[in-house]
């Protein structure tokens, strides 16, 4: 007979410890089926909290409930299996993900940022932004692309400012291919404006002097003001993003 694990003299009725009393749900993403606890989806995402807050058909006497079996999963259309797996690595870290030598790589964190933004997972989004900002050397072009795709104003300003400062130095064709024609044109104009406003101060010693240039960040903020303001407004709905 198996020994019961019960404190001596315990008479109280057992109660559910809600954070560890899991109800599973089956998702279909791409060709993959995922059976996972739905608690973190409810806790982290306003989108899923609303979805799961709707009474299930089972309460109306229906037998088949969406998400309860492999045969009738909740289908997440338009998403990729690899992105969903990366998100689950943050929501439900296993001993493998906790003990492997490296954290999620840049591609995985980008997946996490994409889905957490789409599904209003505010804490998860902040985590992804902090990790990408602190541990990966995003190129200026990557910062601009990610900022525009996922509403991160700091990255937009940083990326544009770096390109205005000519770091890295890109040809007009490379710049256009990287950020699009309109943005490339505006960056090129800011480069000219910045260089034309350079002031040289020379001391008494020949060959020595101080070069003062207009701040590229200020030029970027002024030129891209409308886009930056819109991005900041959207960001507010996700709360403040932690920075390393």
Please state the separation of Cα 89 from the chain's center in Å. Answer: 14
Return the closest-CA partner of residue 166 out of 133, 144, 190.
Answer: 190
pLDDT digits (tens, 9 = 90+) for 128-142: 999 999 889 899 999
Tell me, what's the pLDDT at 126?
95
Can you give the pLDDT at residue 222? Answer: 95
User: In this predicted structure, what is the pLDDT of residue 154?
Assistant: 96
103 has a pLDDT exceeding 80: no
Of all residues in the chain, what percent carry a pLDDT higher than 90? 61
43 within 8 A of 37, measured Cβ to Cβ: no
Note the pLDDT tens digit of each residue in 175-213: 999 999 999 999 999 998 887 765 445 555 545 555 556
pLDDT, residue 67, reads 92
Rounded CA-CA distance 41/69 in Å is 18
- For residue 218, give every residue at least 6 positions away whose Cβ sits within 8 Å of its Cβ, in sequence order, or none: none
List, for residues 49-94, the tens digit of each pLDDT value: 999 887 665 555 556 789 999 999 999 999 999 999 999 999 998 7
pLDDT of amino acid 80: 97
pLDDT of 32 reads 97
For the whole model, what pTM was predicted?
0.82
Q: What is the pLDDT of residues 3-44, one digit of tens each?
A: 555 565 556 788 988 778 889 999 999 999 999 999 999 999
- Asked if 94 and 130 touch (Cβ cutoff 8 Å), the reply is no
Query: Could you state, in order of their start, the residue ranges of all structural domains in the chain?
Result: 137-244
* Residue 206 burial (C-beta neighbours within 10 Å; 0-12, 13-18, 19+): exposed
């Amino acid at each position: 007979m198996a020994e019961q694990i019960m404190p001596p003299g315990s008479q109280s009725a057992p109660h559910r410890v809600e954070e560890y009393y899991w109800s599973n749900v089956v998702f279909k993403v791409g060709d993959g089926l995922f059976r996972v606890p739905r608690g973190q989806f409810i806790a982290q995402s306003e989108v899923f909290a609303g979805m799961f807050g709707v009474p299930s058909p089972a309460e109306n006497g229906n037998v088949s409930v969406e998400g309860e079996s492999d045969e009738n999963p909740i289908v997440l259309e338009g998403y990729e299996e690899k992105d969903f797996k990366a998100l689950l690595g943050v929501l439900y870290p296993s001993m493998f993900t906790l003990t492997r030598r490296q954290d999620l790589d840049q591609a995985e964190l980008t997946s996490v940022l994409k889905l957490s933004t789409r599904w209003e997972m505010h804490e998860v989004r902040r985590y992804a932004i902090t990790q990408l900002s602190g541990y990966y050397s995003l190129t200026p072009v990557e910062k601009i692309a990610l900022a525009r795709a996922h509403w991160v104003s700091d990255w937009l300003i940083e990326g544009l400012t770096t390109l205005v400062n000519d770091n890295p130095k890109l040809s007009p064709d490379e710049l256009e291919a990287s950020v699009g024609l309109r943005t490339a044109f505006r960056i090129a104009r800011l480069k000219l404006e910045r260089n034309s406003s350079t002031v040289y101060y020379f001391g008494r010693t020949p060959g020595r002097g101080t070069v003062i240039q207009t701040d590229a960040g200020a030029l970027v903020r002024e030129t891209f003001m409308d886009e930056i303001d819109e991005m900041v407004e959207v960001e507010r709905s996700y709360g403040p993003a932690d920075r390393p």
